[in-house]
Structure 1
Amino acid sequence: MAIKPNRHELELWAGTLLPTLAETVDVARAIHARGVAQVIVSLGEDGALFVTAQGTWQASLPPVRAASTVGAGDAMVAGVLAGWHAGAGMEETVRLSVAFAACKLQRLGPHLPAQEQVRERAAAVQMQRVA
């Protein structure tokens, strides 16, 4: 099982503001400890947080000019599902997830980006392990 709230949705669940990455990580890890295999938190311009049994990562791309944020969270979930379906490892799944969301930010409506654009973005995703 996986969940993908954005930071605001996670704050609503926690009943408190989560202004720092450390506080966001703590809440995401608490949810993971309750049995959710993957907790993916979209952080807007700060990328996304991924909490799994393998560890915790923050992944991001350089900021993009957003045409619309509508559907970016759904696109992030689509990237996770694409990684799972392809049998990709955790790192590749994270990269796809962030790339799908970033590509969606630059598009209006329900239009998918070209696969090459997704691959280019995925290769540029920066990942760092969160202690």
Structure 2
Amino acid sequence: MKPRVLFVCVENANRSQMAEAFAKLYGGDRIEAYSAGSKPSGVINPKAIRFMAELDYDLGQHRSKSLSEINGEFDAVITMGCGDNCPWIPAKRREDWQLADPKHMDDEAYRAVRDDIGRRVQALLEALI
């Protein structure tokens, strides 16, 4: 079976969406990647869409989802630094990456968060696949 990974943040509009995208980019059909939010905004941040497009990934095809829409067991659940706003979800592996929310950052800082997420996802996938 493919490893199942869930990335969680509050709004499911930036960090967790980019992490899901990187997991799909790097893991391809060897992994099942999902993202969700504890209080989803209902939209993907246009900056996230723009900066993932720079890496040839169309984040515009994603949608902001609630944790209540996500089912099943996970091999890894990764929270993005949302503290008490991210509920406990059972998983074999749990990590909190403590990433700053980039939604109000300038372009350079936003890209830095994006690239950090990409490196972390790549390391996670190396451990799981």
Fold match, TM over 0.5?
no
Greater relative contact order structure (CA < 8 Å, 6+ sep) = 2
- Greater Rg over alpha carbons, structure: 1
- TM-score, normalisation: structure 1: 0.31
- State the TM-score, normalizing by the size of structure 2: 0.31
**Structure whose residues are more often helix by fraction:** 1
